[in-house]
Amino acid sequence: MTRYTETQVVAAAGLTLTELRTYVAEGWVLPRDDEADPAFDEFDLARIRLVCQLRGELDLDPGALPVVLSLLDQIHGLRRQMRLLATAIAAEPEDVRRRIESAIRTVTG
């Protein structure tokens, strides 16, 4: 996975170094600190761009940003769990998959 320095992130995301450091200090982005400087990855860069969009284009109140980010994190976590569940179900024999499908229909009405 590609690693980015603060300077590279600032250039790629179009924000200032002060803004980037604020995002990190607020806990909105959690880079790796196993080196002398923070190391950002592709996921961090995507999240930084999201924060920039929420704050800039959507003019989201800074007090609401942690709530929105937390909700988005929960959604992504649930999507990941659903993919794992779907993969596990797909690996089951046909009769088991049919019973699961039937049970879902029963529960959901």
Residue scoring higher pLDDT (34 or 83): 83
Run of H or E including 70 = helix 65-90
Residue 13's CATH number: 1.10.1660.10
Does residue 109 share a domain with residue 77? yes
The pLDDT of 76-97, averaged and rounded, is: 96
Q: Measured in whole angstroms, how far is the alpha carbon of residue 14 from the centre of its chain?
A: 20
**Domain boundaries, position 22:** 1-60
**pTM of the prediction?**
0.75
Q: Do 53 and 68 have their domain in common?
A: no
In this structure, the answer to whether residues 70 and 96 fall within a common structural domain is: yes
- Number of domains composing the chain: 2
Same domain, 30 and 50: yes
Q: 29 and 74: one domain?
A: no
Query: Does residue 87 register a pLDDT over 80?
Result: yes
The rounded percent of the chain whose pLDDT value lies above 70 is 98
CA pair distance 78, 90, nearest whole angstrom: 18
Same domain, 79 and 26: no
Same domain, 3 and 55: yes
Q: How far is CA 73 from the centre of its chain?
A: 5
